[in-house]
Structure 1
Amino acid sequence: MNPRQLLIATACLFATAVFAKDDDLDFLFEDTAPEQTSQAPADAPPAEPQPEAGTQPSADEPQPETSAASETDEPIIPDVVPVAPLREEPQPTVVAAPPRRQIEEIVVTAQKTEQSLQDVPLSVTALSGDFIKNTGAADLTDVAAYVPNVRVDTDDPGSPQVFIRGFGTNTFNPSFESSVGFVQDEVFFGRGGYFTESMFDIDRIEVLRGPQGTLFGKNTIAGVFNVTSAGPTEEFSGDARYTTGSYGDRRIEVGMGGMLTDWAGIRVSMLDRKSDGQLYNTYLNRDEEKLDQRAERLKLKLYASDSVDMELTVVDSDTSIAFWPYQLYKLDAGSLAYLRTFDPEVEDQPNDLTSMDTVGYLNKGSTTAGLKTSWAMGDLGGIQDFESVLVVGISQFYIDQLNDLDVSPSDIARLDSHEDHDQRTVELRFTGHSDGLFGLGDRLEFVSGLYYFDSDYAINAKVIAGQDLGSYAVTGDALELISGTSFGGLFGGISLPGLPLLGTITSPLVGDDYYGFDYTQGITAYAAFGQFTWYLNDHWAITPGIRLNRESKDVFAQGGGHCRTEALETCIMQALVQGNPYDYPNLRRNESDISPKFVLQYYWNDDLNFYTSYARGYKSGGFNAISFTGEDIEYEPETAQTYELGMKGKFFDSTLSLNTTLYRTEFDNLQVLAFNGFFFDVSNAASAYSQGLEADFMWLTPFEPLSISGSLGILDARYKGYDSAPAPYGSAQDTQDLSGKRIAFAPSKTATLTPTLSLPLFAGLVTQLSVDVLYQGDQYTDTDLDPNTYVDDYTMYSARISLSDEQGLWAVTFGGSNLTDRRVLNQVTDATFFPGTYFAQLGGGRQLFGSISINW
């Protein structure tokens, strides 16, 4: 018998064992069949009635014995196919069907309890850690490309910009708290800079859209990034991955651990990442995006008893970057002539070259410890599976940076800034369920709790005069900046070779001249929250929820010029920035808020449900941390109301999943940054709205090796009323009416499409090929909607191919992003010191990578 026949015969035997009754298989294990006689026991039940004429007995009913069996005591041999013929002549009708492909269930904690993604009645996109690794994503900017209506810019790691549905916060002014919350391993982090901390050993990332103020932290008015890192597994296991790519990219990521005993487990992981980046400084001959990032995480899992378990997470991260990833854009003739006296190769078109004289840097890092204690109390009165969870977190975060504030080869000014943030959080929550509410309905599930947040933040920053300030002071740009009137430049478009010498001569006179800020802020916030889901019957459920917030801020703010001639009030830098000294030692704000939500959900069946919801969000007000005048430094809180109508379903025997959401969000007192000619002021816009659609799908196609996933975002985000918005520099008016105009960073459409082909090869090898089509709609990249900051829509393509073994113990992957090398502007903002000019940040070009991963 050949191997193929043996395999088929084995499958036939297995199918026979599955579908036959136990009694029918006795002959396989007995020497002889059991004796059967016609004599029934004395206590036997009466004989079964015979079926009526013309009817057939049911296949499930016991069949009457034959007359031959009733007239003899000879044993009856079952009428079966002998074993040997079965092996030689297999019957195809008894071969077991292959297991049916189905989309795996995705479990998320978007409502503070583990749920299937399909059952969560809000717009959520969940990405697994494997997906993140396979796409080569290095940070949340890369991840956001696959999430509809989400934008993350981390070009400035100290001040990332995160937008959901067009709303977010430019955290370049550190007094602004992010409108999009960041939660990792159940700890909420109160500074936007945490978004750019090391991302490694991730289990999943959940992006929750819309106000999430009921259950998550504080100031989550636009949504939440909920990140969960990998924890100890039941069996000891580990994985390691080495990636190398274009522009000196190198990434080593390792994680390993498991249960050491039946009551203790551990997982340790680390990241070592380096990159040269694409932006090259021709003046200093160095890479301006050179990055060195290291991080370690330790997770301990302890089972203190059968009902109490604890998880301790400690993570440390440090990042060092050669810093200021900007280029000058659209210089006028006078500015270009001035700068070319320092560097004849100065350019004003976005490319991969810049020219700056300052050896800038950004060093940032954090140390965080979180302890989660879960106590399963069991049944408590009418409450079943009652559980309490206590999450305590502490974290320290810092940023030290030195920037070339003029982004040029002339040493006009530098920004020297140092930030420190300490926070302490406590969350106590309770979960459980009962059989309805007051005896009504089928089931009730609830989560409720208390939340505490306390933080101390400090920033000390200086705008320091450079040694070329003397030569700059006689340019038309300087006169225009001080007076607000254009003079065309004292030297016009003439390039004077001796001009840098003027700065050198006057440098001793300028001396140590700077305008400085000193700002400290203490925040204390309390909240009580709760929601319950009441399943009225098999089809209908409602989920009301509410959060009560109380927050206080205590602020010390001080600013002013410092120089040798300070007594004469003639500090050069203070005059350039049009600053005034101020001192506010006891600023204070107290705020309260009530944020409700309500969800109505209808389950068509186990695979399809619909929901409609209302949620209110809130983001606290505050004070401008970087003000040059001390005027109008206080800004008010913003609020939002969101309405959603959604559908989540699985179709075609769970081979297709489709989630869609229609929404509308209305904002009041929108917090914005407005350029004042030199820097950014904080203020409140009147009102705005965002409306549109999000959809994502996964399809296991009838062609088994092929699966397709994708997403679509449609976004219409506009100001409802904003008649005193800042006008683009050089406009006839200082303000403009943006009512009805689009909001910046709000592309009208985003879409992704990822077909993946998995094919078995030979010798137990498997290959997988994936292609990403990533579309981004047109958008403005500055709040004043200056036409020069407009970016057209574009499509980028990525691809990767991997070879692995069937068990997934190892894999080799090659891939690339932006394969057509499409170059687009990520952001364009007004430049300091050169009125009418811009700072541009160019998106990355084509990047190729290769990786080796092992699992054990």
Structure 2
Amino acid sequence: MKQHQRTPLSLCIAAGLVALAAPAGSWAQSSTPVAPPVETLETVVVTAQKRPQKLQEIPVAVSVVTAQDIENRGISGFAELLGLIPNTTIDQNTSAQPTITIRGITSSTNNIGMESGVGVVIDDVFLGRPSAFSTQLIDIERVEVLRGSQGTLFGKNTTGGLINIVTSKPSRQFAAAADLTGGSYGLRQARAYVTGGVGDEMAAKLSFTSKRRDGWVENRNPAGPDLMSEDFDGVRGQLQGKAAGLSWLLSADHGRDRAVDNYYDVREGGLSAFDANGNDRSIATNGGDQFGRTIKGASLKLETQSQGINWVSITAQRGVDWYGRNDQDYTDQAILVLSRKEKQSQFSQELRASGQSGRLNWLAGLYYFRQKQDGVDRMVLDELTPVLFGLPYMPGFQEAADTIVHLDTRSSAAFGSGSYALSETVELNTGLRYTSERKRMNYRQELQQQVGLIGALAAEVAPFDGARKDAQWSGDIGLAFKHGKQLNSYLKMTRGFKAGGFDTTQATSADPGDLSFDPETVQATELGFKSILAGGRLRLNGAAFHMDYKNKQEQFFNGVSQRVSNAARARISGAELDLTARPDAALQVGLSLGYQDATYKDYLANAGKRLVDSSRLTASLSGQYEHSVGGGWGWMIRGDIQYRSKSYQQPDNDERYTQPGHSLVNLSTGLRSDDGRYALLLWAKNLGNKTYRTSTYSVDAFQTMYQAVNAPRMVGLELRVSL
């Protein structure tokens, strides 16, 4: 490993010990003086159903990560958020393709023609592609994780659940904050925001983040970069105002990645002789690894009220442009290079009206979404490839296959939901959505050949067009029960769907067919409860669920490329428990448990096998202790333990392609002044320096298996200043 890439652990520990020797007080996030801590839990308000509601009253399985949670854990990236949420996992071997799994349904889409089963929404704007949202967090107020199908208010592509990200909004009162972080592998990060009034009726806010980290996978080739690095700059601007009864919020953001963050290590097989190092985080490539991504977007939200009806309009334009290139044989020999270029743009318009009439709360809306995508996948066989096929070495040899795709999607929907109080203790909740979607695809594949070796992996495909139209009903119906001021329960049934699409990866036949696959549908039943116990010091929520899938879209690796097909039937049953307790003013503990039995019921020869990326058990335990020792300062220490059982990465549950069960320990400790102006936080992630396999695949042509592992222990020190 290049020595300049590490920030010595001893420096961070020494700085932390100096900080801990200072006077202490209570820990909080506000820049205003800190109020004395209370023993009851904070009331959490969410907008998971597109209107403010208390977490304990909403009949939905939802978990919330607040801004204070993010700060106290030293979180800066999206991948760190989900470890404490039951039946929810995330794997991220590349920023452009995070794999989020909720209740056995994954967002993994190594294919621009396949939609994600987990939706992501930022400030009421749905993102069409997983690659289209920033994996670095910029000034976040909270993140809401909704588990289970959200087919009424959010529509298609939320069969597994939804990540609802809410950013922090402008204030007319002047405020500013900044933080600096240094840590392992050359981590250096700066974040800041400033907000205040503009004129008589407006407020503005500007937020930015800049993050650099050297790669934690050593490239033994001096000419090549270390891998799994980070290089991100992002900015968001917001302008908020009100005039003549109309409230508006104009937002715009821009982010840029330049990291090299995709790697695999030779595990066994034909190319193992070229990687005799044996270190899971050390490889040798022959250079050229690249990753670049630009994300940008703007939205305008308008709100007004007329005759007791609340009207909302959200207009948004977003896009992502990214390019990745990898030495895909992961050796220092010139064998195989894969690259992908994707450009996506989307426009969306949502109109909503809501109100209350007697016992009825209602919401109705219209939604339109237009997305354009252009993608080029390029496979290059390099100089040494002929030798692997038993031919003489050919200096300058190179053959390539380019898969070129254009997709155009138009989707429109009408939806409505309502809750009706049947009595003081029983409420009927129901909703319905109709979605109509058209997709058009243009596909072609071009080969550049010398002796025809590329023909073993891809075929020349003449340009052709494909089209499909899908129309689906989705919705929910349920009952909510109030058993007292602090205990609620609910029963609901939902129907959701994920849109159909096209398999746009490399074709091995000159006549690949229409490449389309059908929508998947899910019918689910959920029974849950939410309670506040021990005089407000204990929050205990739980749910049990059962889901039946038809035509479940499944992605699998066939030894050459990722393919997509429909699994006729699949079934998932499970349960969740989420507990938060504050035994006294200084101590808060949390426990989450998630269990699921996710199996294919009818899918080729895979009936009875576990679904891809679905761990049977997830669990977490956290504890946070705050202590005021006078002198205007406070001390905080927090620990998190996360566990995830084994998961399979292929539908046939081949034991060679698994992520083993594993646990991680994260720790943070720090100081904050009682007036909220200064804070110092020392954190360690993967404190025990555990190593486990995160992903495995094989290339049949090389008879070689590859694996990637998790990040090693990371330590960092943050300094924060608020005005």
TM over 0.5: yes
Instruction: Tell me what 1:712 maps to.
Output: 593
| Separation in 2, partners of 1:515, 1:286 | 26
Q: 1:24-74 CA deviation, whole Å, 9 max, x = no partner?
A: xxxxxxxxxxxxxxxxxxxxxxxxxxxxxxxxxxxxxxxxxxxxxxxxxxx
* 2:381 aligned residue (465, 481, 494): 465
Please tell me whether residue 252 in structure 1 is matched to residue 190 in structure 2.
yes
Q: 1:773-798 CA deviation, whole Å, 9 max, x = no partner?
A: 11111222333322112333222211
* 1:557 aligned residue (443, 453, 456): 443
| Separation in 2, partners of 1:283, 1:571 | 30
Instruction: Tell me what 1:243 maps to.
Output: 181
| Separation in 1, partners of 2:629, 2:688 | 30
Instruction: Tell me what 1:519 maps to.
Output: 405
Please tell me whether residue 409 in structure 1 is matched to residue 347 in structure 2.
no
Instruction: Tell me what 2:696 maps to.
Output: 828
Q: Structure 2 counterpart of 1:696, which letter?
A: D
Partner secondary structure for residue 134 of structure 1: helix
* 2:367 aligned residue (451, 466, 491): 451
Change over 3 Å in CA distance of 1:549–1:811 after alignment to 2: same
Report the Cα offset of residue 610 of structure 1.
Answer: 0.4
Instruction: Tell me what 2:114 maps to.
Output: 176
Q: Structure 2 counterpart of 1:769, which letter?
A: I
Please tell me whether residue 637 in structure 1 is matched to residue 637 in structure 2.
no
Q: Structure 2 counterpart of 1:444, which letter?
A: L
| Separation in 2, partners of 1:694, 1:635 | 32
Give me the TM-score of the superposition, normalised by structure 1: 0.78
Q: Which region of structure 1 is more displaced relative to structure 2, 774-783 or 287-296?
A: 774-783
Q: Structure 2 counterpart of 1:682, which letter?
A: V
| Separation in 1, partners of 2:42, 2:637 | 20
Please tell me whether residue 622 in structure 1 is matched to residue 501 in structure 2.
yes
Instruction: Tell me what 2:31 maps to.
Output: none
Report the Cα offset of residue 686 of structure 1.
Answer: 1.8
Partner secondary structure for residue 247 of structure 1: helix
Instruction: Tell me what 2:485 maps to.
Output: 606
Please tell me whether residue 507 in structure 1 is matched to residue 395 in structure 2.
yes
Report the Cα offset of residue 572 of structure 1.
Answer: 2.4
Q: Structure 1 counterpart of 2:178, which letter?
A: A
Report the Cα offset of residue 159 of structure 1.
Answer: 2.0
Q: Structure 2 counterpart of 1:411, which letter?
A: A
Q: Structure 1 counterpart of 2:719, which letter?
A: I
Report the Cα offset of residue 283 of structure 1.
Answer: 2.3
Q: 1:466-504 CA deviation, whole Å, 9 max, x = no partner?
A: 1222323328xxxxxxxxxxxxxxxxxxxxxxxxxx64x
Report the Cα offset of residue 217 of structure 1.
Answer: 4.8
| Separation in 2, partners of 1:100, 1:126 | 20
Partner secondary structure for residue 314 of structure 2: strand
* 1:674 aligned residue (556, 559, 564): 556
Choose between structure 1 and 2 for higher RCO, CA contacts under 8 A separated by at least 6 residues.
2
- 1:296-445 equivalences under 5 Å are 296-305=235-244, 307-331=245-269, 334-337=270-273, 339=274, 346-347=276-277, 349=278, 351-377=280-306, 380=307, 385-435=308-358, 443-445=359-361
Instruction: Tell me what 2:9 maps to.
Output: none
Checking the alignment, whether the CA contact within 8 Å between 2:95 and 2:261 is kept in structure 1 is no
Report the Cα offset of residue 747 of structure 1.
Answer: 1.3
- 1:158-197 equivalences under 5 Å are 158-197=96-135
Report the Cα offset of residue 807 of structure 1.
Answer: 2.3
Report the Cα offset of residue 583 of structure 1.
Answer: 2.8
Report the Cα offset of residue 753 of structure 1.
Answer: 1.2
Report the Cα offset of residue 761 of structure 1.
Answer: 1.1
Checking the alignment, whether the CA contact within 8 Å between 1:169 and 1:176 is kept in structure 2 is no
Instruction: Tell me what 1:292 maps to.
Output: 231
* 2:150 aligned residue (212, 232, 245): 212
Q: 1:666-699 CA deviation, whole Å, 9 max, x = no partner?
A: 1111111222221122111121111111221211
Q: Which region of structure 1 is more displaced relative to structure 2, 447-456 or 663-672?
A: 663-672
Give me the TM-score of the superposition, normalised by structure 2: 0.92
Report the Cα offset of residue 532 of structure 1.
Answer: 0.4
Report the Cα offset of residue 815 of structure 1.
Answer: 1.6
| Separation in 2, partners of 1:123, 1:315 | 30
Question: Which one has the bigger strand percentage?
Answer: 2
Q: RMSD between aligned alpha carbons?
A: 1.7
Q: Structure 1 counterpart of 2:70, which letter?
A: I
| Separation in 1, partners of 2:651, 2:406 | 27
| Separation in 1, partners of 2:453, 2:689 | 45
Please tell me whether residue 793 in structure 1 is matched to residue 688 in structure 2.
no
Partner secondary structure for residue 145 of structure 1: helix
| Separation in 2, partners of 1:272, 1:177 | 30
Change over 3 Å in CA distance of 1:605–1:402 after alignment to 2: same
Partner secondary structure for residue 471 of structure 1: helix
Instruction: Tell me what 2:720 maps to.
Output: 853
| Separation in 1, partners of 2:707, 2:323 | 23
Partner secondary structure for residue 141 of structure 1: helix
Instruction: Tell me what 2:30 maps to.
Output: none
| Separation in 2, partners of 1:99, 1:588 | 60
Q: Which region of structure 1 is more displaced relative to structure 2, 182-191 or 412-421?
A: 412-421
Change over 3 Å in CA distance of 1:406–1:576 after alignment to 2: farther
How many residue pairs align between the two structures?
A: 684
Report the Cα offset of residue 100 of structure 1.
Answer: 5.7
Unaligned runs of 5+ in 1: 1-97, 340-344, 436-442, 476-501, 725-736
- Structure label with greater radius of gyration: 1
Checking the alignment, whether the CA contact within 8 Å between 2:212 and 2:231 is kept in structure 1 is yes
Q: Structure 1 counterpart of 2:356, which letter?
A: H
| Separation in 1, partners of 2:376, 2:525 | 41
Q: Which region of structure 1 is more displaced relative to structure 2, 181-190 or 99-108?
A: 99-108
Partner secondary structure for residue 297 of structure 2: strand
Report the Cα offset of residue 350 of structure 1.
Answer: 5.7
Checking the alignment, whether the CA contact within 8 Å between 1:181 and 1:217 is kept in structure 2 is no
Report the Cα offset of residue 245 of structure 1.
Answer: 1.4
Change over 3 Å in CA distance of 1:201–1:712 after alignment to 2: same
| Separation in 1, partners of 2:299, 2:590 | 35
| Separation in 2, partners of 1:137, 1:350 | 28
Report the Cα offset of residue 323 of structure 1.
Answer: 4.3
Report the Cα offset of residue 390 of structure 1.
Answer: 0.2
Q: Runs of 4 or more off by more than 6 Å in structure 1?
A: none
- 1:744-759 equivalences under 5 Å are 744-759=612-627
Q: Structure 2 counterpart of 1:404, which letter?
A: D
Change over 3 Å in CA distance of 1:249–1:123 after alignment to 2: same
Report the Cα offset of residue 196 of structure 1.
Answer: 4.4
Please tell me whether residue 658 in structure 1 is matched to residue 658 in structure 2.
no
Instruction: Tell me what 1:690 maps to.
Output: 572
* 1:649 aligned residue (531, 536, 557): 531
* 1:117 aligned residue (55, 60, 63): 55
Checking the alignment, whether the CA contact within 8 Å between 1:616 and 1:639 is kept in structure 2 is yes
Checking the alignment, whether the CA contact within 8 Å between 2:133 and 2:295 is kept in structure 1 is no
Identity of aligned residues (%): 26
Q: 1:204-231 CA deviation, whole Å, 9 max, x = no partner?
A: 0001111112111531111111001111
Report the Cα offset of residue 451 of structure 1.
Answer: 0.2
Partner secondary structure for residue 71 of structure 2: helix
Checking the alignment, whether the CA contact within 8 Å between 1:247 and 1:277 is kept in structure 2 is yes
Change over 3 Å in CA distance of 1:357–1:796 after alignment to 2: same
Checking the alignment, whether the CA contact within 8 Å between 1:391 and 1:428 is kept in structure 2 is yes
Instruction: Tell me what 2:12 maps to.
Output: none
Partner secondary structure for residue 203 of structure 1: strand
| Separation in 2, partners of 1:409, 1:372 | 52
Instruction: Tell me what 2:23 maps to.
Output: none
Instruction: Tell me what 1:37 maps to.
Output: none
| Separation in 2, partners of 1:368, 1:217 | 21
* 2:431 aligned residue (518, 527, 545): 545
Report the Cα offset of residue 584 of structure 1.
Answer: 4.5
| Separation in 1, partners of 2:225, 2:545 | 47
Instruction: Tell me what 1:839 maps to.
Output: 706
| Separation in 2, partners of 1:396, 1:791 | 33
| Separation in 2, partners of 1:157, 1:783 | 24
